[in-house]
A = this chain, B = another copy of it.
């Protein structure tokens, strides 16, 4: 690879002059500039980041760690990995600022984190983004002594700046949409109760019910989260059995996420309950692979991953540009929109005699 000396020699100037052409930080005569540029192009010269950052003490690098699971007893990692959207949008923002994002994925093994951080330190990263795969608290296991850090999709107890999804607001808006469609008996199949998202969304669910003057009924709420385990669908079956066998059968089901809604679709069909005619179903996440691909397409609340990644990156850049700026004490919460699709309709009069809608089929 050509160096600045090669360029200087070819252009018949000093290396310093080449540097001036590259950086435009001092006047260079038109003739000189042109011959330097010609030499650069002829040699395919690209300045060395290593040499530059050595002199300037600025690496222009931002590290991003994703995929760590902080303790073994958490739910297994979902296979979907939507946090990729966070990474993509963070990268777009970082790139705009002229910095480069160094991305490391732990592949779910926390024990790799120290080695990744070490690599980041060797590269003298100026800041760190830490992206969790779902909304959760993290222990302070990052050996980041003084490195400006922004947490994304997670938070710690030390007040590290964090960007989080507005789970409560999302579930509120979604439940509100279900209520507005006319439903009064709204079941909720939640994710694992220990999850932060579950706790917050439950608040949103209750707030929307309360606002509509609907009494909260705990027997309509079932935790239903065993992703990736063999009994995965069994819990859903059981919950749906209970719900369908009630005399006051609910007319809508909120699901903890789109994946769960996908399972619910299948099981409702097996039970002969048509979606959405006999049962409205809504999800959460707006994982478009599912929400658009399911038939009928799924009404759901978007998890604003793109906005979160962009916001986190911008927050970090702001901190770097302005180190003594006061840090907001509270996490930044990004809200997502309700995506209206076909799985949510007004409740229809219940009629045990023809609950089975089967287009074109007449066996009942």
Interface residues of A (CB under 8 A from B): 1, 44, 46-51, 53-54, 59, 67, 78-81, 84, 87-89, 91-92, 95, 100-105, 107, 112, 115, 118-119, 121-124, 145, 227-228, 232-234, 236-237, 241, 259-260, 262-263, 265-267, 269-272, 274, 287-290, 292-297, 352-353, 356-361, 363-364
Contact = CB atoms under 8 A, between A and B. Distances in A.
Contacts of A1: 124
Contacts of A233: 295, 297, 364
A314 to B, nearest CB: 16
B353 A356 contact: no
B47 A122 contact: yes
Given A293-B259, A358-B272, A59 B67 contact: no
A145 B145 CA distance: 41
Given A88-B107, A262-B293, A290-B293, 8 more contacts: A46-B122, A84-B84, A227-B292, A269-B269, A271-B360, A272-B358, A352-B363, A356-B363
A101 B63 CA distance: 12
Contact of A361 (B44, B87, B270): B270
A87 B102 contact: no
Nearest to A286: B79
For the complex of A and B, the 9 pairs showing the least CB-CB separation, nearest first, are A266-B295, A272-B358, A79-B288, A272-B361, A50-B50, A80-B289, A49-B122, A103-B103, A46-B121
Given A49-B50, A91-B107, A92-B107, A270 B289 contact: no
Contacts of A267: 295
Contacts of A101: 103-104
Contact of A53 (B50, B295, B359): B50
Contacts of A80: 289
Nearest to A78: B289
Given A271-B360, A292-B232, A119 B105 contact: no
25 contacts: A1-B124, A46-B121, A48-B122, A49-B50, A49-B123, A50-B51, A50-B124, A51-B54, A54-B54, A88-B107, A92-B107, A103-B103, A233-B297, A234-B364, A237-B364, A241-B361, A263-B294, A265-B266, A265-B295, A266-B295, A270-B295, A270-B359, A290-B290, A290-B293, A356-B361
A232 B288 CA distance: 13
A232 B296 CA distance: 11
A79 B292 contact: yes
Contacts of A274: 270
A363 B236 CA distance: 15
Contact of A262 (B50, B78, B262, B269): B262
A234 B119 CA distance: 50
